A = this chain, B = another copy of it.
Amino acid sequence: MKGKVLQLLNNADDYISGEEISNKLGVSRTAIWKVMNQLRDKGYEIESVTRKGYRLLSSPDILNEAEIKYDLKSKLIGKKVITFDSIDSTNKYGKKIALEGEEEGTVIISEEQKAGKGRRGRNWVSPPREGIWMSIILRPNTAPENASMITLVAGLAVCKAIREITSLEAMIKWPNDIVINGKKICGLLTEMNSEIDFINFVIVGIGINVNISKFPSELKEIATSLLLEGNGPYNRKIIVKRTIELFEDYYNTYLKTEDLTNIIDEYNDYCININRKVQVISKKENILGTVKNVTKKGELIVTNSNGDDMIVTSGEVSVRGLYGYV
């Protein structure tokens, strides 16, 4: 009910009368009046003028379905948005509902994660209302070996959304981080459920440190937030929406060729690893080299000390920068 009233307020160019709302939703004007007060309690500024009706002046930075879907330009991604005040992990919830048949495009967002996860089960700090903790369910019609490129697609979308909204120089650290001034601002966790030659579903987890003002001491050197780097606080809603829209565009482009052909130039422009020294760490050996570029298949090309090019896939190695986190 709150969501529907909010949608009407958002869609109205000017005032909308209590009568119109009560007709559209089939409830009494007293019920509408109660909902308005509930919304005010949640931080919405709603003006009410006799004979004119209600008008929304400002919205708090709350991530609910109505707020995210309002004027969202995407078609598939975000067609359904499931939001939580608190959850253990949005990726875990996504896996659960995807197993039960949840459709492609559904977005899960929580104001807080109690047990947010990074790669390989590492912890991911996700304090309430200070970041964007979301997961997207995908069912791409491509072979499982092409799924790892979706992390790069998502990285590009987040990087560009941050740049557009904050003007900060966000860069992609291949394959699954976004950094600003050498510190991590966003991590991506892509998980797949597949048969040998068929993808059942992919979950893309996106964690963006938006308005976090303080990190625990063990993270201070490697993690940062948009607030700490720029002129925040930033409106998370706007970042969520722009990320979803850009992700849908890049994802569709990727699906057409089933690789990164049409977006790899832009990716390489934003990739911080290019021309940097890296250590390629595999089970067998550690090799020093310089990053040349990322290929349209999403692999990293690293030139070793003999001048030979190596192809590095994220499935084979870890890549560590030699100078600090980046």
A200 adjacent to B191 (CB under 8 Å): yes
Query: Is A71's CB within 8 Å of the partner chain B?
Result: no
Interface residues of A in 90-136 (CB under 8 A from B): 95-96, 99, 119-120
Selected from B144, B191, B316, the residue in CB contact (under 8 A) with A195 is B191
Report the bound CA distance from A85 to B78 in whole Å: 42
Nearest CB of B to A298, in Å: 10
Interface residues of A in 143-193 (CB under 8 A from B): 143-145, 147-148, 151, 175-176, 189-193
B198 adjacent to A190 (CB under 8 Å): no
Report the bound CA distance from A182 to B182 in whole Å: 61
Nearest CB of B to A84, in Å: 19
B191 adjacent to A194 (CB under 8 Å): yes
Q: Which residues of B contact A190 (CB under 8 A)?
A: 195-196
Residue of B nearest to A150 (CB): B196
Q: Which residues of B contact A197 (CB under 8 A)?
A: 148, 313-316
Copies of this chain: 2
B195 adjacent to A189 (CB under 8 Å): yes
A316 adjacent to B192 (CB under 8 Å): no
A196 adjacent to B99 (CB under 8 Å): no
Selected from B120, B194, B198, B313, the residue in CB contact (under 8 A) with A198 is B120
Interface residues of A in 274-326 (CB under 8 A from B): 313-316
Q: Which residues of B contact A99 (CB under 8 A)?
A: 95-96, 99
Q: Which residues of B contact A148 (CB under 8 A)?
A: 144, 196-197
B195 adjacent to A145 (CB under 8 Å): no
Using known A-B contacts A95-B99, A99-B95, determine if residue A196 contacts B143 with beta carbons closer than 8 Å: no
B198 adjacent to A119 (CB under 8 Å): yes
Report the bound CA distance from A120 to B143 in whole Å: 13
Report the bound CA distance from A96 to B95 in whole Å: 10
B192 adjacent to A194 (CB under 8 Å): yes
B195 adjacent to A119 (CB under 8 Å): yes
Pick 23 A–B contacts, CB within 8 A, sort by A: A95-B193, A99-B99, A119-B195, A143-B315, A144-B148, A144-B192, A144-B315, A145-B145, A148-B196, A148-B197, A151-B196, A175-B196, A189-B195, A190-B195, A190-B196, A191-B194, A191-B195, A191-B200, A192-B193, A192-B194, A192-B195, A196-B314, A197-B316
A: which residues have CB within 8 A of B? 95-96, 99, 119-120, 143-145, 147-148, 151, 175-176, 189-198, 200, 313-316
